[in-house]
Amino acid sequence: MDADREFRGSVPALYDRYLGPMIFAPYAEDMAVRLAGVAEGQVLETAAGTGVATRALDAALPPGVGIVATDLNQPMLDHAAGRLASARVQWRQADAQALPFPDGMFDAVVCQFGVMFFPDKARAFAEAHRVLKPGGRLLFSVWDRIEANDFADAVVKAVAGLFPDDPPMFLVRTPHGHHELAPLCALLREVGFGAVEEEAVERESRAAEARAVAIGFCQGTPMRGEIEARGDGALTAATEAAAKAVAARFGEGVVVGRIRAKVVTAVR
């Protein structure tokens, strides 16, 4: 669904403020560690979003490595650029399925939780393969099934209870809808990648309070559009229901839950 890729208005800021530290930062740090062997050259990030992984890469990679951070969504890039002033980072609007770069330009291509949003994943993988140098790596992450991600699971169930006949299913359908890696790994091999490895990575997710979790998912993702389409007051009602469900399951004050993702590495 095209609406699943719309991050507009206040969504980028809320996404970055609430979901960034809560679920994305732990995997950004993990991704940066995986690229520790890149000592010089260029790293391309696709679907950079609000720059959570970009900031981790900038903090961890040696000074001789340049970073080109791209995203299809200009409002997300604008927010990201406002959060990170680094001479070695270039921000550029680009479609991962039609990259505006020459063959063999990059030493690594990174995509944190973006593959799920590509309509033509084979084309995106082929483009990553094309712009990589021989021996270069593509690293990407996808979320595991929603039941293995506590906060997202609690929010979806709570909001579904308000709209049982037509529940908002963005989180299940897109972010958590590509946890079966066999089809993705098959596509990687079809476009020319050699060694393909996968790893499940579990981390801990924290938020200052249950309401922060509810705001992040209900108002800081395309799920917001689905909820608002249910009528006036739906967003407030959904946020409150989600906050109550998270508090009931994880307690008052600081809440802690499990998050689980899968990381794939493919070598050109």
Query: For 76-115, what is each residue's pLDDT tens digit?
Result: 999 999 999 999 999 999 999 999 999 999 999 999 999 9
Whole-angstrom Cα distance, residue 70 to residue 109?
11
Instruction: Please name which of 165, 253, 147, 159 lies closest in space to residue 206, comparing C-alpha atoms.
Output: 253
From the number of C-beta atoms within 10 Å of its C-beta (0-12, 13-18, 19+), residue 109 rates as buried
Q: At what angle do helices 121-131 and 181-190 cross, to 10 degrees?
A: 50
Report whether pLDDT(1) > 60.
no
Model pLDDT, residue 3: 60
Band of residue 10 on the pLDDT scale cut at 50, 70, 90 = confident
pTM score, whole prediction: 0.94
User: How far, in Å, CA of 78 to CA of 82, rounded?
Assistant: 6
Pairing of the two strands 255-267 and 196-207? antiparallel
